[in-house]
Structure 1
């Protein structure tokens, strides 16, 4: 192909030398480009392994990331953690963990300390309770038969003693009233920030345990109710800069992915106080992840927050 082009252009050179030189250089440039393209295509087709795929972003949604939850029966305290943050990760009431470890308020712990999350004798106690129930059932059956026999004897004695003063001893049965633990209510809940809810609460195992509210970076994050800050830090992977507020012995609220934390641990806050600035720490976009927990378990915040923001 190159020889034919050269011959054709050489013949034209005699008639118009200047024009022929320009067109000849352009033709060579075209041929050079064709050679490069052909070599690139040949190299791509001869590649044994496919080209590596590079991820655009390493930040995945909160539910898709590996949660830093605790599943074992024992845990070693790390630097920056509190008993509230550990109970949050274990989805357990802080009072339960404190009782297992004989820790009294304000629940001070130190790095390296081993914390029991579940009772070691739980299986033994369950077996023992099962055997106790079996023995109780057997004794109850025997007492029922004996009571029936005594009722027959009493009935016969009543018939024989008709018209006579017979003293009947009444056995007073004391019914033990169950001690129901009434939950402490929060006086007033309010929305921690105004914005579009981009993900709602889910009861699924890998579901969202709160509300994801989108917004602008630096937007004020407010306390949803009156309480005390029991955790402020970034030790919980997947939550970024996190704040946990204790409202009473039953209710906690959490505010995750903050850009800046404006409160300290043990600080008392009122409903509506600014506690942080919205951000995207450990998240794929600027938002607030808001949770409410009742006795250590996640609940739907929409059941407590007002309908209007």
Structure 2
């Protein structure tokens, strides 16, 4: 497998300026709004007085910044994630050494996660500077959940991602699968690692590929250290 560092103009994952507010649209979920604006869904809920059911209403205007926002305030570090112990569905990208975290520093949630490649590759894997991956393949091939979790969004409501699936793996960690031709799961569905969730589609240029991203506490993290 080839690994290429790249910044693709106009692609999903490109940095965007977060507006002050957002008006809820049909088919939005709190998770998709947070993802669209690079926020932690829990913070978004807290800033808007939303309960733990995370229910939102079409037409509701949501605050996208804390009431007393101060620039430069550090965000919490993302949780550590253990490597998935199963068989790889894609070759390794060379030898990588992942430092073991002290036992006291591992959260119970992070320790429970096991990751796998979300699809087979048929060409290079491009890693964007934010850590997200573009995995080339064949149009229509199966896209699978990279870890166990619950589907929290399916749809086309986020510009640049096409038909998108977002899976919540824990309180802290979510993953996204974009450029799909079709989705085979529904919102709220629980999935195991390896469960088929979609069929690979094409990007805006017509190239078959999967956009794959992991976020922890609203921040994109590099998936490569955790993929077998």
TM-score by length of 1: 0.56
Per-residue deviation, 1:78: 1.4
Task: Specify whether residues 266 and 70 from structure 1 end up closer, same or farther in structure 2 by C-alpha distance, changes over 3 A only.
Answer: farther
What residue is the counterpart of 1:199 in the other structure?
126
Greater helix fraction, Structure 1 or Structure 2 = 1
Residue matched to 1:97: 44
- Residue aligning to 1:12: none
Whether 2:190 is the aligned partner of 1:268: answer: yes
Misfit runs of 4+, over 4 Å: 66-70, 180-183
* 1:228 matched to 2:175: no
Gaps of 5+ in 2: 1-5, 74-104
User: Separation in 2 of the partners of 1:181 and 1:111?
Assistant: 38
Give 1:215's match in structure 2, choosing from 137, 141, 156. Answer: 137
1:116 aligns with 2:69: no
8 Å Cα contact 2:24/2:62 also seen in 1:
yes
* Distance of 1:98 and 1:181 partners within structure 2: 26
Q: Which residue of the other structure, out of 157, 169, 186, is the alignment partner of 1:247?
A: 169
Q: Identify the residue that residue 94 of structure 2 maps to in structure 1.
A: none
Question: What is the aligned partner in structure 1 of residue 215 from structure 2?
Answer: 293
Q: Is the 8 A contact 1:83 1:108 kept in 2?
A: yes
Secondary structure of the residue aligned to 2:153 is strand
Q: Provide the rounded CA distance (Å) in 1 between the counterparts of 2:29 and 2:182.
A: 20
SS of equivalent to 1:122? coil
Cα distance 1:282–1:235, how it changes in 2: closer, same or farther (>3 A)? Answer: farther
Q: Is the 8 A contact 1:62 1:283 kept in 2?
A: no
1:213/1:289 contact within 8 Å kept: yes
Give, in angstroms, the shift of residue 182 of structure 1. Answer: 4.3
Distance 2:22 2:7 in 1: 23
What are the equivalent positions in structure 2 for 1:31-70 lying under 5 Å apart? 63-65=8-10, 69=16
Structure 1 SS opposite 2:227:
coil
What are the residue-to-residue correspondences of 1:44-193 with 2, within 5 Å?
Answer: 63-65=8-10, 69=16, 71-123=18-70, 182=107, 184-185=109-110, 186-193=112-119
- Greater strand fraction, Structure 1 or Structure 2: 2
- 1: CA distance, partners of 2:106 / 2:68: 24
Q: Shift of residue 183 of structure 1?
A: 7.1
* Distance in 1 of aligned mates of 2:108 and 2:23: 31
Cα 1:304–1:283 change in 2 (3 A) is: farther
Aligned partners of 2:205, 2:213: CA distance in 1, in Å? 16
Aligned residues: 187
Change over 3 Å in CA distance of 1:283–1:86 after alignment to 2: farther
Counterparts of 1:273 and 1:62 in 2: how far apart (Å)? 30
